[in-house]
Amino acid sequence: MKVTILQFPGTNCEYDTRYAFEKLGAQTEILWHKSDTVPSDTDLLVVAGGFSYGDYLRSGAIAKFSPVMKAVGEYAKTGGKVLGICNGFQVLTEAGLLPGALKRNENLHFISKHHHLKVINNDNSFLEKLNNGDVVNIPIAHHDGNYYIDEQGLKELYDNDQVLLKYCDEDGEDKNPNGSIDSIAGICNKEKNVFGLMPHPERAMEKLLGSDDGIKMLEGFLKA
């Protein structure tokens, strides 16, 4: 399996992401944002976390104009799988590849800690190795992770099984760290080939570092 990882000025999780997927046996390539094509052998395209363009203007708002994003849109339209993590999630919403938007955290502070997530829908390649209702412990690290969508959009997310993950405590009860509507931590598009989440599964690959729950999350993308 080939995983291509996007790199913008300010990206800082591309090497964590490469480590995570190589640990799972995938081949990886880091792709600079000025490329106008996605490698033809790409099985999964990851928009990695970080602070693209220093988060100036608005998180992800400048990155969406990078040359590579046109190719990302075309890749997604033809069914290619795309995963946006943290800033990558912000980029995908700004580019219109995922619905909704990410706002400043409700408490206006940067949050960096492990936080539990509850699996809401595993009927997709991202979470198929987990069960609905499973609780995982995944790091979060963001200042603008407050997911928002209007009432009609929220209804459509649930109607189409697009809500994938919610913030919770270790018992699966809602515990919202940033003010996200309905405690939403991760979603997908209607076609279920574009995924986005604020938490960092690529940082949860080693028990020694606090959790290896990211393994089951990411290995759903691996081909048999």
Catalytic center residues: 86, 200, 202
Sheet with 81-85, side-by-side order of all strands: 27-32, 2-7, 44-47, 81-85, 194-197, 184-188, 163-168, 111-119, 135-142
Total Cβ atoms within 10 A of residue 51: 20
Q: Under DSSP, is residue 137 helix (H, G, I), strand (E, B) or coil?
A: strand
- Continuous segment of H or E residues that includes residue 215: helix 214-218
Euclidean distance between CA atoms 130 and 113, whole angstroms: 22
**Which pair of structure tokens corresponds to residue 128?**
């198929």
Instruction: Determine the 3-state secondary structure of 84 from DSSP.
Output: strand
